[in-house]
Amino acid sequence: MNTHSSKKLWVIAYLIYIITVSLVVGIEYHASLKKTLRLIDEKLTIAIKNIKYILPAGYHDVEVTPQEYRNVTRRLTEASYDTGFKFFYTVVKGEDGNLYEASSSEFDADEHPQYYSMYENPDPMLVRLLKEGKKDEVFFQYNRDREGDHRIGCIKEYSFAGKPFLSCADYDMSVMRRELRVSSVRQLIYYLLLLLCVYPFIWAYREASKFRQMQLEHDVRCRTAELGFALKTAERASQTKSNFLASMSHELRTPLNAIIGFSCAMKDEAFGPMQNKQYLEYAGHIHTSGEHLLTLINDILDLSKLESDKEVLKAQWTDMSAVLKECLEIVGGYPTAGEKKIEEKISYNLPRVYVDARMMKQVLLNLLSNAIKFTPAGGTISVVMGLSKEGYFFFKVKDTGIGIPSDKLKLIFEPFTQVENVMTRHHQGTGLGLALVKQIIKYHKGEIKVRSELNSGTEFTVFLPVELIETKDGRS
């Protein structure tokens, strides 16, 4: 991660923190507001229930003098100040149908000596409460006007003479709201200060991470250098191995060819009959063993070349059906081939594939010779070649032979692996054939699959990638 994107991450982290904190403070503000409102309503209820005791007895039943009215408004004013309310007032309905009030804020007694002062634009709920409300029924509501932000509470009562009136109180909410807002801002500041307190820890962690990263980078550099050195050593060793194998195989092949050639001449009695038949038998053994040794040496050399990527793929557009026919002719001459039925099914008009023909021939020969080797007399070997539904080029060698136990299936592609069975005891083998096949297919970026059932048969399928198949315009 570069410095620019790391800075971006830090900014995003701070923003997330600030947004979260603001949300928490907002939620806290609303919860406190609700709680305070409940308390205010409780306070309002007590206050409005007590207003009737502030008024003189029978106040609503008689006509009052301006002096009495002034006394009442003064008492209401004092009581509202003492209890922290904005207004205390009482409301009655006049004979003209309008509402009149005596309020802690009223001082115009001369204008309305009888029923105090007119209550202008009363809230419909207030009118309803006075008209239809039951005794002691209460009513709360907010009132936001130019005089401020109020919570109004009213209760319906009856005078001695049975006249309905309302006792009301206004609570100034603006102070409470201001207090709540101040407390929220304070909380926000605390959270931001908390971030400042935590910052030294974040800084220390970042520095420690940087140090750890530097250390890791140093370790990785050291390991890379070590691995590079090990790789060079391995490459040198592999080179030495290849050189050794190449020179050894050359050194071994020359005398071997002489052994094979001379033993062949002797067993065939090319220069006249042998006196002792025992020598004839020995010459035969020498010839077979020599040929086996030559196959082994050739296989080892081929495999080591493929494994060390020394082998150069001599790929060319190849008609695989022709290669297969050539292989079938060769294996047809194997000693036990005549005892088995060999079937072939080659799709018509197969495209050419871009492969190393010599290597593919070796693959087919190895698979076919194994099929012949591990199928008892009377069995069938079938070869199929064509294009799969997915568009891969494939060939399949299937036999009705002895099969391979499922636990050994994974091992057969390992060099020098031979599954111990009746056939392997009777037939010679190097245990390198399938390892070579696998390497060759891998070299062509293809795939080999095997399916086998003990005593029923084995099926090897080779898939070659689509890129190796010739298209109509002559290219892959």
Query: What part of residues 382-411 is at the interface with ligand ADP (CB under 6 A)?
Result: 399, 401-404
Nearest approach, Cβ of 401 to ligand ADP (angstroms)? 5
Among candidate residues 114, 103, 107, 94, the one with its CA nearest the CA of residue 54: 103
- Kindly state the tokens that stand for 298: 């050739």
Backbone φ, ψ for residue 475 (5° rounding): -120, 165
Name the DSSP class of 282.
Answer: H
- Kindly state the tokens that stand for 416: 């020098």
Nearer Cβ to ligand ADP (389/425): 425
371 touches ligand ADP by CB under 6 A = yes
Residue whose pair of structure tokens reads 């502030």 in the numeric block? 54
Q: Which region holds residue 97: left if phi is over 0, alpha if psi is between -120 and 50, else beta?
A: left
Nearest approach, Cβ of 424 to ligand ADP (angstroms)? 5
The burial of 282, by beta-carbon neighbours within 10 Å (0-12 exposed, 13-18 middle, 19 or more buried), is given as middle
Among 124-132, 229-237, 336-344, 430-438, the segment contacting ligand ADP (CB under 6 A): 430-438
- How far does Cα 440 stand from its chain's mean position? 37
297 touches ligand ADP by CB under 6 A = no
Nearer Cβ to ligand ADP (378/391): 378
Query: What part of residues 338-367 is at the interface with ligand ADP (CB under 6 A)?
Result: 366
418 touches ligand ADP by CB under 6 A = yes
Among 114-122, 211-219, 225-233, 426-434, the segment contacting ligand ADP (CB under 6 A): 426-434
CB count within 10 Å of CB 112 equals 17
CB count within 10 Å of CB 75 equals 16
Nearer Cβ to ligand ADP (71/417): 417
* Full DSSP string of 165-215: EEEEEEEEHHHHHHHHHHHHHHHHHHHHHHHHHHHHHHHHHHHHHHHHHHH
Question: Which residue from 323, 350, 412, 468 is in contact with ligand ADP, where contact means CB under 6 A?
Answer: 412
Nearest approach, Cβ of 344 to ligand ADP (angstroms)? 16
Nearer Cβ to ligand ADP (169/435): 435
**How many of the chain's residues bind ligand ADP (CB under 6 A)?**
22
Cα 301 from Cα 248, distance rounded (Å) = 10
Question: Which residue from 36, 159, 417, 476 is in contact with ligand ADP, where contact means CB under 6 A?
Answer: 417
Question: Which residue from 458, 461, 464, 468 is in contact with ligand ADP, where contact means CB under 6 A?
Answer: 458
Cα 288 from Cα 282, distance rounded (Å) = 10
- Kindly state the tokens that stand for 299: 């296989």
327 touches ligand ADP by CB under 6 A = no
419 touches ligand ADP by CB under 6 A = yes
Nearest approach, Cβ of 306 to ligand ADP (angstroms)? 14
441 touches ligand ADP by CB under 6 A = no
Among candidate residues 302, 385, 358, 356, the one with its CA nearest the CA of residue 468: 356
Cα 25 from Cα 185, distance rounded (Å) = 8
Nearest approach, Cβ of 406 to ligand ADP (angstroms)? 12
Nearer Cβ to ligand ADP (155/412): 412
Nearer Cβ to ligand ADP (216/454): 454
302 touches ligand ADP by CB under 6 A = no
Question: Which residue from 76, 169, 360, 434 is in contact with ligand ADP, where contact means CB under 6 A?
Answer: 434
Cα 323 from Cα 367, distance rounded (Å) = 14
Among 77-85, 172-180, 308-316, 422-430, the segment contacting ligand ADP (CB under 6 A): 422-430
Nearest approach, Cβ of 365 to ligand ADP (angstroms)? 11
Nearer Cβ to ligand ADP (168/367): 367
CB count within 10 Å of CB 227 equals 11
181 and 101 Cβ atoms separated by less than 8 Å: no
Sequence-separated contacts (24+) of 37-43 with Cβ below 8 Å: 37/151, 40/151, 40/171, 40/173, 40/176, 41/140, 41/151, 41/153, 43/83, 43/171
Cα 381 from Cα 398, distance rounded (Å) = 6
Nearest approach, Cβ of 429 to ligand ADP (angstroms)? 3
Question: What dihedral angle (degrees, nearest 10) is formed by the CA atoms of 125, 127, 133, 137?
Answer: 60
Cα 123 from Cα 141, distance rounded (Å) = 10
Among 36-44, 58-66, 263-271, 369-377, the segment contacting ligand ADP (CB under 6 A): 369-377
Question: Which residue from 45, 83, 382, 424 is in contact with ligand ADP, where contact means CB under 6 A?
Answer: 424
Residue whose pair of structure tokens reads 């029924």 in the numeric block? 137
Nearer Cβ to ligand ADP (433/446): 433
431 touches ligand ADP by CB under 6 A = yes
Question: Which residue from 103, 184, 370, 400 is in contact with ligand ADP, where contact means CB under 6 A?
Answer: 370
Nearer Cβ to ligand ADP (122/431): 431
439 touches ligand ADP by CB under 6 A = no
Cα 232 from Cα 349, distance rounded (Å) = 48
Nearer Cβ to ligand ADP (187/424): 424
328 and 369 Cβ atoms separated by less than 8 Å: no
Give contact residues for ligand ADP (rule: CB under 6 A): 366, 370-371, 374, 399, 401-404, 412, 417-419, 424, 429-435, 458
